[in-house]
Amino acid sequence: MREPATIGPQPLRRLALTGATALIGVSVVFILIAALPSISRGLGLTDVRTVTRVVPKHESAKTISRDAVDARSRELFPDDDDPDGASELAIVRAKTSVYATPGKQRLSTVNPGTAVLIIGEKGGYYRVVVLGEDKKQMGWVEKTSVRLR
């Protein structure tokens, strides 16, 4: 019977060296491909791209949406006596009416437990944005009908 052929230490060493060389070569190619944009900008072949944020990092989405509501309310009600545009969250206590102007021209009714954003006040009324209903609505409600949070 014949004995099985064996591979000596020299061919195994050569095979390991070839594999290691191939891995190093592939790694160098990947590094060069990843660095290509930086290299081309450094050589002046491409322009530097600048990315600007529309919203500063430190502002939250809640603050931004509140600012948008305040801006819209100043646009709709320029004669408001609350110039700083402060807004506060409140909950409707009992079924109440929403008016187009304080105490006049009823727009709709709001159920108890509905969240509203107070964006102004005049006399015995708050100007609110109704948040908890199917459609968003802006109007006036009596101060006694909401509970501040």
Burial code of 5-40, b = ≥16 C-beta within 10 A, e = fewer?
A: eeeeeeeeeeeeeeeeeeeeeeeeeeeeeeeeeeee
- Mind listing the domains of the chain with CATH numbers? 8-51 (no CATH), 61-148 (2.30.30.40)
Q: CA-CA distance, 40 to 43, in Å (whole number)?
A: 5
* pTM of this structure: 0.44
Confidence of residue 38 (pLDDT cuts 50, 70, 90): confident
Residue 82 pLDDT: 52
Q: Please provide the average confidence, as pLDDT, over all residues in the chain.
A: 77
pLDDT tens, residue by residue, 75-114 = 665 655 554 556 788 888 989 899 988 888 888 888 888 8
Confidence of residue 141 (pLDDT cuts 50, 70, 90): very high
